[in-house]
Amino acid sequence: MKKVTVLSELQSEFSSLIERMQGVIAAFTRKNPKSIFCAMVALMLCSLLLCFTLLRLEKPALPKKTKLLGKIEGNLGAIGTTASKLQRVIEIRSALEALLSKDSLDKKDSLLMEQMLLEIDRSMITRK
């Protein structure tokens, strides 16, 4: 059983037209080989000309990043991190003061205070 595909159906439908077109193209190439060769060489020269002159895209020069600029950017990031740590320590401090202003502390309050103090200690450790 022959497998029927779209391509095979198109080929069977237009086979006579395809054969005629192949004959015309073969006759033209046999009749004018010199002009076909000249057209091919001319197209190659045009492509070469366009490739190396008119269609040449210049890449914009990227500014070179200096080491000093990289250090400044790194230090700015460190300043931001330090500021956020300081803000968190201030928030914890105000929460601790609120806990200390209570008349009596229960076990839950003392555990919360211990966690807050540990968080302050962790935030003071600097990593390089």
Considering the domain boundaries, does residue 1 fall inside one?
Answer: no
120 and 76 inside one domain: yes
Give the model confidence (pLDDT) of 79-107 as tens digits. 888 888 889 889 988 988 888 888 888 88
Cβ-Cβ contacts under 8 Å for 109 (sequence gap 6 or more): 99, 102
| Same domain for 79 and 39 | no
Q: How many distinct structural domains can be found in the chain? A: 2
Question: Are residues 44 and 71 both part of a single domain?
Answer: no
Whether 50 and 99 map to the same domain: the answer is: no
Model pLDDT, residue 128: 52
Tell me the pLDDT of the chain (128 aa) as tens digits: 678 888 888 888 999 999 999 999 999 999 999 999 999 999 999 999 988 887 777 766 666 656 666 666 667 777 888 888 889 889 988 988 888 888 888 888 888 888 888 888 888 776 65
Residue 60's SS3 state is coil
Q: Give yes or no: residues 71 and 112 share one domain.
A: yes
Domain containing 83 equals 67-124
d(CA 9, CA 2): 12
